[in-house]
Structure 1
Amino acid sequence: MRLRRLRDVLTGYVDRGDVPGVVALVSRRGQSHIETLGSTAYAGGRPMAADTIFRVSSMTKPVTAAATMLLVEECRLRLDDPVDALLPELADRQVLRSMGAALHDTVPAFRPITVRDLLTFTWGFGQVYAPPATYPVLKAAWDLGIGMQEPRPREMPDPDEWLKRLGSLPLMAQPGERWFYNTGSDVLGVLVARASGRSFDEFLRERVFAPLGMADTGFAVPPSSSHRLAAGYWGEPPVPLDTQEEWTTVPPFFSGAGGLVSTVEDFFAFGRMMLRAGDERLLSRPTLATMFEDHLTPAQKVLPHWVVNEFEGSGWGFGGKVTTRRLGLADTPGKFGWDGGLGTSWRVDPAEEMITILMTQRGWLSPEPPPILRDFWALAYAAIDD
């Protein structure tokens, strides 16, 4: 692979102060290239390293989907079964007549919510890119503290209380009608815990992280490793997101939507599993093919409250975006993965047998990929020369 220019371009982003540092990995057909540039903080940080720990936020979503599919393969969950038995808080749903309706202005749901609905984010509830006061249901969700903003799992209630609060609200749309971002993955975390009889944290450690050797991935950073956690920044100009100490305590809520910390090395191991390129193959080939399929209809992709055309040339699989047609040199149909809003990105490309990972810790300012990420993808694919 021809990746000489990658270091020069990424160094420019560090030198200009766009990010304090970055770790980037490109792997294709057994050949891997990694760059570690800059430092873990704008002031007083350590040099970036392959084992630097990052808040990967929404990169948690494909991990949650994979955990769910482990239980589907064992027939402890079924894709098209209602979740009512395990999640009675979400049974017998009421649905708003319109997005702006009062909370009591509802109709009964046409059908129950299924596991598939949660995996595809079509279960009827989720994040809306609008000020909370725009819609009564959105304001109520914010007031209840059920996670309608950037990941703050340490400020959320325990899973049972969280689901109770969520269940007190009507759905924003009928199950299966429309794609709503984020919240479905948090519900899946509770579902996996109840179906397995273990906490979501414990299930991931035993069934995903330990087999794959993902020793630095979890919902908290051990105090002995806190020096490896990159400082987080948000906004323009960048301001500190939180303190290192926040992430050394175990949160009351294990967020399947955005609660994990991890490293480039660990997510490389997860990517190899998803491509069936590593020694540990946790999921079958048919399961992975199902996860990498676009499960949305054109009607479900209409996002009136979204600020960008999220699904131009793409769709949504189980826990991540799926490329459906080529719009640029990095758009291989079938490519799967997702980004973390606090500055991270992960993709696997079955056709090219390729994994791309970029981690920094300055939050994206828009749902649209920032220039550093677009340049990274372009340079990674421009290096393909066979």
Structure 2
Amino acid sequence: MGFHKARLDRLHDALAGHVERGGVPGLVGLVAVGDEVHVEAIGKRSVGGGPVGRDTLFRIASMTKPVTAVATMILLEECRLRLDDPVDELLPELANRRVLRAVDGPLDDTVPAERPITVRDLLTFRMGTGILMVPPGSYPIQRAMDALDLGQGLPQPSVVPEPEEWLRRFSTLPLMYQPGERWVYNTGSDLLGVLIARACGRPFEVFLRERVFEPLGMKDTAFSVPADQLDRFATAYWNDPATGELAVFDEAAGGQWATPPAFPAGAAGLVSTVDDFLAFSRMLLGGGRFAGERIISRAAVELLSSDQLTADQKARSSLDPGFFDTNGWGFGVAVVTRRTGLGHPVGQYGWNGGLGTSWGVDPAGGVIGVLLTQRLFSSPVLPLVHQDFWTSAYQALDQ
């Protein structure tokens, strides 16, 4: 198994075309199979700026979620957390929850929670609260979350308060649904960051650095970019809601990731590089082992990457139409359950970052794919550059 050299040119041409047509200012794409690694670094770190390189730093947004899940698995294996234990002991603020009678109803129209929230609920996004796939501000609960600056929308690390205050504010709100009833995106990973910090007795970002990043050599992955590395950091862009034109969402220097945040967001806070995520991916492909060091057990990797949702939970949930027809959800990752295209085989697991990134691990084929761009998604459907990356990556394999 390896690469078909001529077909790698198609991968380059497909990605270069998106940059040349202005779809993204720049990108870094990586495909690895076995010991072979192919990287494309194309375009600019910012419009009119310096060239993208293999070491360019990107905001990986929701690709943070699998990192948070791995950190949780470490504590589960050490029996400092247990999957089906209520989180009340470490997060007493979440005890005796109230639940909205109707998700679009007033905040004081509630019923008691039928059971406590568990660690498994947080890992699988079945805790009962998250980002709703309706226009922002449609429901009172959404408006209340926004007013409390809980960061349950586009990542804004400069706005969200420190973890203790974040949890205090969150605990004033009812849940949207009963725990375990359905999959609701995002918030579980932020709560896991707070839970990990209390379980291990040190800040979440310190635990990640000591137990995940340093053992894997992920020297560039963090919740902010040091001042002396900002020249490697890509500017983030989006379609301006008012004009529809490409506009700056976050600058590299002086932007929201240029200083350490008060709240290290386990859902969407990290910056990283393709090589750092290659190391993370190889650890997972290696059954939890990397460079002779074991991070988590093979059993933990298999559990993390297995579909955890029931058919009923999928039917009650939404991300984009048809998502759960072909995917399940593990711990912080989507798991492909039915192949419907060229780029996503059954059993592949991974996730995307709404600020412009995509990642997947294919354990059957031994394939890793990472695409980092700096243009925000405009819908839950993968942008064309990401769709073409996955198609081009798999057609370039000589299997």
TM-score (norm 2): 0.94
Counterpart residue type for residue 316 of structure 1: W
* Residue equivalent to 2:225: 221
Supply the distance in 1 between the matched residues of 2:71 and 2:78 (Cα, whole angstroms). 11
SS for the counterpart of 1:165 is helix
SS for the counterpart of 1:80 is coil
* Residue equivalent to 1:271: 281
Deviation per CA, 1:236-274, whole angstroms, max 9, x where unpaired?
Answer: 421101222232211100000000010011111111111
Counterpart residue type for residue 7 of structure 1: H
Deviation per CA, 1:30-54, whole angstroms, max 9, x where unpaired?
Answer: 11100111111112x1111110000
Supply the distance in 2 between the matched residues of 1:302 and 1:144 (Cα, whole angstroms). 30
Alpha-carbon offset, residue 306 of structure 1: 4.0
Deviation per CA, 1:126-183, whole angstroms, max 9, x where unpaired?
Answer: 0012234321111111111111211112210110111111111111111000110011
Please point out which of 27, 48, 53 is paired with 1:22.
27
* Residue equivalent to 1:362: 375
Alpha-carbon offset, residue 302 of structure 1: 2.8
Alpha-carbon offset, residue 104 of structure 1: 1.1
Asked if structure 2 preserves the Cα contact closer than 8 Å seen for 1:308 and 1:368, the reply is: no
Asked if structure 2 preserves the Cα contact closer than 8 Å seen for 1:89 and 1:164, the reply is: yes
Supply the distance in 2 between the matched residues of 1:254 and 1:360 (Cα, whole angstroms). 22
Please point out which of 5, 8, 15 is paired with 1:10.
15
Supply the distance in 1 between the matched residues of 2:215 and 2:45 (Cα, whole angstroms). 28
What stretches of structure 1 of length at least 5 have no aligned partner?
A: none
Deviation per CA, 1:93-133, whole angstroms, max 9, x where unpaired?
Answer: 11111111211111111110000000000000000122343
Asked if structure 1 preserves the Cα contact closer than 8 Å seen for 2:128 and 2:179, the reply is: yes
Supply the distance in 2 between the matched residues of 1:74 and 1:181 (Cα, whole angstroms). 27
Supply the distance in 2 between the matched residues of 1:188 and 1:116 (Cα, whole angstroms). 10
Counterpart residue type for residue 278 of structure 1: F
What is the aligned length? 385
Counterpart residue type for residue 335 of structure 1: Q
* Residue equivalent to 2:261: 251
SS for the counterpart of 1:23 is strand
Supply the distance in 2 between the matched residues of 1:131 and 1:382 (Cα, whole angstroms). 37
Supply the distance in 1 between the matched residues of 2:102 and 2:325 (Cα, whole angstroms). 25
Supply the distance in 2 between the matched residues of 1:306 and 1:265 (Cα, whole angstroms). 29
* Residue equivalent to 1:104: 108
Please point out which of 239, 245, 248 is paired with 1:237.
245
* Residue equivalent to 2:141: 137
Q: CA RMSD in A?
A: 1.2
Please point out which of 306, 314, 323 is paired with 1:301.
314
Within the alignment, does 1:70 sit opposite 2:64 as a pair?
no
Asked if structure 1 preserves the Cα contact closer than 8 Å seen for 2:344 and 2:390, the reply is: no
Asked if structure 2 preserves the Cα contact closer than 8 Å seen for 1:341 and 1:364, the reply is: yes
User: Identity of aligned pairs, percent?
Assistant: 54
TM-score (norm 1): 0.97
SS for the counterpart of 2:154 is coil
Q: Superposed, which structure 2 residues align to 1:1-386 within 5 Å?
A: 1-2=3-4, 3-43=8-48, 45-235=49-239, 236-244=244-252, 245-246=254-255, 247-276=257-286, 278-279=290-291, 280-303=293-316, 306-386=319-399
Asked if structure 1 preserves the Cα contact closer than 8 Å seen for 2:182 and 2:317, the reply is: no
What stretches of structure 2 of length at least 5 have no aligned partner?
A: none
